[in-house]
Amino acid sequence: MKHKFLNALRSNTFNPPCNSCNISNLFKMRKLSILVAFMATLTVQTVFGQQDPMFTKYMFNSLTYNPAYAGSNDHMSLALIHRSQWVGFKGAPTTQSFNIHTPLRNERVGVGLSVVNDKIGAVGTLDANLSYAYRIPVGKNKLSIGIQAGLTNWRGDWTKLDIQEGGDDVFATNPNKWLPNFGAGVYFSNKKFYTGFGCPRLVEYDLREASATNTPIYAKTYRHYFATIGGAIPLGSDNLIFKPSAMVKSAGWFSSIRKDAAFQKVGAPTEFNVDLSMFFQQTLWVGAAYRSAIERSQSSDDSVDFWAAYFLKNGLRIGLAYDYSLTEIQKVSNGSFEVMVGYEFDYKTKRIVTPRYF
């Protein structure tokens, strides 16, 4: 049973549940992310895991992961992504991401706004962040250093749970917390290459302390670190571009610096996503990706993903993505889907001369 749960939770680990609540459906959901907070009320030991949501089209909402990306397109850019994970599965995660960013008159400065709404089962989070980036020319390259500040709303609605045994004080009230935070990142790029590293939320919070109910139960938010790299390689001409990219996400990096020894070991494996795509005629972009974990002994393959995006001449961008799960969750779901809409503003020419590769 343990291995089935590990496969279903896409590279996350957790401890066995208690008997006070029916969470058989939640076991098969993806992110120990919000389950870290929710299952902490259902377990008898400390729980660890990934919390931040995943996106197949991560390259189109980079500001979510790295504030240094603000203004990197040299004009105003916005993107909206909706993700429905494990379609057909009750209580499955749904996530919406909205990003808008632009350089200022001083072209070395970029600002942006990122909003992410994430819901899984009875628990949801809403993140809103304002970003500031300062870009430093390095020859023909640009090095950006970014910071951001914002709020996270963490909430739970226990009325949506099937409580088998009443009287548990844990479910007496619905939690609703507003948590201020800040993040930082760096981003290095030129016309054909980029790499970046970001931590969107540096402050960790105790969502439920053990002392509150005299039980060894914890719920905690964790820092997540995102490393990205990619390139754009013309194959003969600019009408055919090969674009490889990769993202690595970890909740365990630098965990040894935590003051509380109980949280210095995070059970969530380091996740990676490798994407290979082709850009045709500066218009049609198609790609395929593979998602898994570096610590294979603690996890399993997660998914293979297929996507396409179309660029209109007026700057509008639309796209679709489909994830085929490689875990046992595929037996009870129809896969995961993303819909993406974006727009590129170009103030200098009033039109898009050539789409951005990243």
Nearest-angstrom CA–CA distance, 308 and 249:
23
Write the CB contacts of 129 (distance below 8 Å, at least 6 apart in sequence): 67, 113, 114, 115, 148, 149, 150, 181, 183, 200
Write the CB contacts of 139 (distance below 8 Å, at least 6 apart in sequence): none
CATH assignment of the domain containing 175? 2.40.160.40
- Structure confidence at residue 279 as a pLDDT band (50, 70, 90): very high
Q: Report if pTM > 0.75.
A: yes
Of the CA atoms within 13 Å of residue 154, those in its CB half-sphere come to: 21
Query: Taking Cα atoms as reference points, which of 29, 27, 31 lies closest to residue 15?
Result: 27
278 or 24: which leads in pLDDT = 278
pLDDT tens digits, one per residue of 199-253: 999 998 887 655 555 555 567 788 899 999 999 999 988 899 999 999 999 887 7
The answer to the question of residue 137 being in a domain is yes
The answer to the question of residue 357 being in a domain is no
Q: Show the tokens assigned to 10.
A: 């896409």
Cα–Cα distances in angstroms (integers) from residue 124 to residues 103, 152, 155, in the given order: 32, 10, 5
pLDDT at position 92: 87
pLDDT tens digits, one per residue of 59-89: 899 999 999 999 998 889 999 999 999 998 8
The answer to the question of residue 117 being in a domain is yes
The answer to the question of residue 119 being in a domain is yes
Cα dihedral value 194, 320, 115, 26, nearest 10:
-110
The answer to the question of residue 353 being in a domain is no
- Structure confidence at residue 116 as a pLDDT band (50, 70, 90): very high
Q: How many domains does the chain have?
A: 1
Percent composition of the chain: helix, strand, coil (DSSP 3-state, to 5):
15, 45, 40
The answer to the question of residue 224 being in a domain is yes
pLDDT at position 294: 85
Domain span at residue 222 reads 2-344
The answer to the question of residue 352 being in a domain is no
**Placement of tokens 């500001």 in the chain:** 63
The answer to the question of residue 166 being in a domain is yes
Whether residue 293 is predicted with pLDDT greater than 60 in this model: the reply is: yes
Whether residue 33 is predicted with pLDDT greater than 50 in this model: the reply is: no
pLDDT tens digits, one per residue of 302-324: 899 999 999 998 889 999 999 99
Is the CB of residue 342 less than 8 Å from the CB of residue 80?
yes
Query: Taking Cα atoms as reference points, which of 345, 254, 309, 344 lies closest to residue 57?
Result: 309
Query: Taking Cα atoms as reference points, which of 36, 25, 77 lies closest to residue 345?
Result: 77
Going by their DSSP bridges, the two strands 240-250 and 233-234 should be labelled as: antiparallel
Nearest-angstrom CA–CA distance, 62 and 71:
11
pLDDT at position 20: 35
